[in-house]
Structure 1
Amino acid sequence: MEQIGLERLTGLIAFARAASLGSYTAAARALSVSPSAVSKSVQRLEQHFGLKLFSRTTRSLTLTPEGRDLFERAQRLLREAEGIEQAMVAARAEPAGTLKVTAPLPVGVHILAPQLPRFRAQYPKLDVDLRLGDRYVDLIEEGVDIAIRAGDPGDSRMISRYLAPHRICAFASPEYLRRRGTPQHPDELVGHECVNFRYQSTGQAARWPFRLGEKVLEIAPDAGITIDVSDAVAATLVASGGIGISATYIAAPFVERGELVPLMYELAHDLFPLTALWPESRRGNPNVKAFVAFLGEIFSAPTPWDQCIAQAARSQKPTK
C-alpha cells in the first residue's frame, strides 16, 4: 500500500483550511504561511488526484462536488490529528510550545499586550501568538487555543469564562471642560462638541448609553468628529476635541495622567461582558490552563482600570 507523503498531508491541511474559511488569504493567515504557499499546495493536491477541487472566482472559492467529498474526509482526518495533539499536550504538565490567542484590537493593545512579558517570564517555554482584530474567528477551524470576545460568546461548542464588564463612560479633557463647562446630565450634552465612534463592522455610529436607575438612556449625539478606531477617539478627546465615550480600559491611562476626566461616572453603563472562550478539546491543555489562570489575575474584580476611573470620579465631587 502506498504511504501518504508529507507534501500530500500539507496539501490536505491547506485545502481544508481554504475550504472552511473561503479563501487562500484567510487560510494562509490561519496557518501562518503565505497565500501563494496555500495556493501551490492545493494545486499540487489537484494534480495528484487529477481532480478540480475548487471553482475559483476573483472573490471566493467554491467547492466542486469532488472537493466537497474530499473536504468531509479531510476534516475527519484533521479532527483525529487534533485529538492526538491535544492528548499529547495534556500529558505534559509544563506549559510549552505555542499558544494561539485572538482578541479584539483594543483589548489586545490595552489589556493583554502590556501583560504578556510577565506571562512569558512565568512560562518561558511557552510562546504566545496573539492575533488582534474584529474579524470573527472560528477557533476550531483555525486552530486557535483561546479567544477573548466582547458580548455574547454565542458558541455552545466552547468553554467560556466571564472576565470583566465592558464599561462605557463619557470623557473630556480638563482644558475642554474649563472652556465649555462640565455637563452633569446627558441632557446637558446638547450644545457641546462631541466626538463619536463608528463601528467598522456595521458602519453605524455608536449610540451613547447612560444608566438611569433601571433604564438605559441611549443618545445619538450631534458629532462634529466621527472616527472608527477607539484609540483615535481617545486621542482626539485628549487634544480637547470635545466630549466622547470610551471603554474604561482605554481611557484609564489618560485619566491617570490627568489628560482626561470621567463625566457622569455614576451613569456609566456596562455595555456587555468580556469573555474568554476555548474549545472543549483544550480542557486539559496545560497551555490554556496557564493562560486562563493568568487572565483571572489581569481581570481581577474590580478591574484596575475601573478602579482608576471611579477614584478620579470621586475626587471631582466636592466634599461636604
Structure 2
Amino acid sequence: MDRFEAMRVFVRVVERRSFTLAANDLGLPRSTVTDAVKQLEARLGVRLLERTTRQVSPTLDGEAHHRRCVSIVADLEDAEGAFGAARPKGLLRVEVQGTLARHFLLPGLPTFFEKYPDIEISMSEGERWIDLIREGVDCVLRFGILPDSDMIARRVATLERLTCAAPAYLDRFGTPASWDALDGHRMIGLRSLTTGVVRPLDFMIGERLENVTLPTTISVTGTESYLATARLGLGLVQVPRFHAADDLARGTLVQLLPDCPPRPMPVSLLYPRNRQLSPRVRVFLDWVAQEVASKNART
C-alpha cells in the first residue's frame, strides 16, 4: 500500500474509531487496514492510535498527524477531480429523513446514476441528530430548524406547512375557527428523538409566531406515524404540504386555519466543516440542491 492510501486508511480509522468499520467503509480486509496503520506508525516512529477492546482513539501525535492527512488527502482528491477525464467515483454515504428521500430524491436517482455510473450510494433513513464523522456519513438532508453544530449547513429549500385533521376528528371535536380558539381540541405529539420534547403547534399571525400546546392522546417520533395517526382522527397535526398533498386530494385530511399557517421550515444539506469535499460528494450535493428546489417549486 502506498503512502497516500495509508493516509486514507488512517484518516478513516480515526474518524470511525474502529478498524472494522473503517475496513468496511473502504472495502478492505480488516487485516489490511491494521497492517497499514502499523506500517505508518513504524515509518513515523510514533504511536498514532490507542487500542482498547471497545474503541480506537488517536494519541496526541495521532491527532496532529490526522489533521495533516485530512488536508493532504482532500487536496489530492480535489486535484484529481479538477480534470474533466476524472469522473467522480466511489461509495457515498448519505442519511435522509424518509419522507424527503421518497418525495425529493428517489424519483431522480436513475438520471443521477446515468450521469455518474461510478458512484455507489448507501442511503440510510433517520430522524435523529448524528455525528457525521464518527458514523462515517458524508452528508445529511434534514428538514426543520437545525441545532447549533460545527457542520456546514446549505439550505436548499423552504417548505410550506399546514395544519390539518381527519374528517372523523372534526366530526367529534368540531372545526376550529381560529388559532386562539383551540380549547377542547387535541393534537398528535411529534416528539424529538434528540430531546424527547413534544413540539408545540405553531401559527404565524402576520409576522408574529404563536406556539400552542394541546393535550395529546399519542405522541410519536416518526413523520410517517405522525401522518398515519392523523388519518385515524386522533388529533391535529402540522406537516409540509407535499407530505399531506395526497390525503388532501382524497379528502382523508382537511386543511385548517389557512389564514394563520405554521411557519415554513427549511430543508438543509449538512456536511463536515473540516473536510474538503471529494468530487463525488460535491456532485451529489449540487444534484440534491437542484432536485429539492425544482420539486418544491412544483408542489
TM-score, structure 2 normalization: 0.75
Q: Which residue of 2 is the match for residue 312 of structure 1?
A: none
Tell me, yes or no, if structure 1 residue 272 matches structure 2 residue 250.
no
Residues 99 and 287, structure 1, Cα contact 8 Å, conserved in 2: no
CA RMSD of aligned residues (A): 3.9
Alignment map for 1:139-288 (pairs within 5 Å): 144=138, 147-150=140-143, 151=145, 160=154, 162-276=155-269
Within-5 A mapping of 1:1-320? 5-6=1-2, 9-22=4-17, 27=22, 31=25, 33=27, 37=29, 40-48=31-39, 49-50=41-42, 52-56=47-51, 60-88=55-83, 91-92=84-85, 97=89, 100=92, 101-117=94-110, 119-120=111-112, 123=115, 125=117, 127=119, 129=121, 130-133=123-126, 134-136=128-130, 144=138, 147-150=140-143, 151=145, 160=154, 162-276=155-269, 289-300=286-297, 303-304=298-299
Give the CA deviation at 1:120.
4.2
Q: Which moved more, 1:190-199 or 1:164-173?
A: 164-173
- Quote how far apart the aligned CAs of 1:135 are: 3.7
Identity of aligned residues (%): 22
Please list the CA deviations of residues 209-233 of structure 1 after superposition, one character each: whole Å capped at 9, or x if unmatched: 1111221110122111000111101
Deviations 1:116-147 (A, max 9, x none): 34x348637465624443444658x9683x65
Higher helix share: 1
For structure 1, the residue ranges without an aligned partner over 5 or more in a row are 305-320
Q: Letter of the 1:246 partner, please give it.
A: V
> What SS does the aligned partner of 1:106 have?
helix
In structure 2, the gaps of 5 or more residues are none
Cα deviation 1:88-110 (Å, max 9, x = unaligned) = 3xx249x7646845433332233
Against the structure 1 CA distance between its residues 154 and 242, is the aligned structure 2 distance closer, same or farther, given a 3 Å change threshold?
A: closer
State the partner residue of 1:311.
none
Amino acid in structure 2 at the alignment position of 1:241: L
The one-letter amino acid paired with 1:207 is: P
1:228-259 deviation digits (Å, cap 9, x = unpaired): 11110101111222222223232222222221
Give the whole-Å Cα distance in 2 for the aligned partners of 1:46 and 1:289.
34
Equivalent residue number for residue 310 of structure 1? none
Note closer, same or farther for the CA distance 1:232–1:291 as it changes in structure 2 (3 Å cut): closer
User: 1:25, 1:208 → 2: CA distance?
Assistant: 44
> Does the CA contact (< 8 Å) of 1:195 and 1:244 recur in 2?
yes
Shift of residue 83 of structure 1?
1.4
| Structure with the larger RCO, 1 or 2 (CA within 8 Å, 6+ apart) | 2
| Aligned equivalents of 2:225, 2:15: Cα separation in 1 | 34
How much does 1:23 deviate?
Answer: 5.0
Partner Cα separation in structure 1 for residue 109 and residue 206 of structure 2: 38
Are the counterparts in 2 of residues 96 and 123 from structure 1 also a CA contact under 8 Å?
Answer: no
How many residues of Structure 1 are paired with residues of Structure 2 in the alignment?
Answer: 286
Tell me the amino acid that sits aligned with residue 296 of structure 1.
Answer: A
Q: Is the 8 A contact 1:282 1:288 kept in 2?
A: no
Measure the CA separation in 1 of the matches of 2:163 and 2:197. 19
Question: Does structure 2 retain, via aligned residues, the 8 Å contact 1:126–1:287?
Answer: no
SS in 1 for 2:160: strand
Q: Are the aligned partners of 1:197 and 1:229 in contact in 2 as well (CA < 8 Å)?
A: yes
1:173 is displaced (CA, Å) by: 0.9
Shift of 1:204: 1.2
Tell me which moved more, 191-200 or 99-108.
99-108
Report deviation, 1:67: 1.9
**Superposition TM-score, scaled by structure 1 size:** 0.71
Q: What letter corresponds to residue 74 of structure 1 in structure 2?
A: C
Q: Matched residues in 2 for 1:25 and 1:171: separation? A: 47
1:156 Cα deviation after fit: 9.6
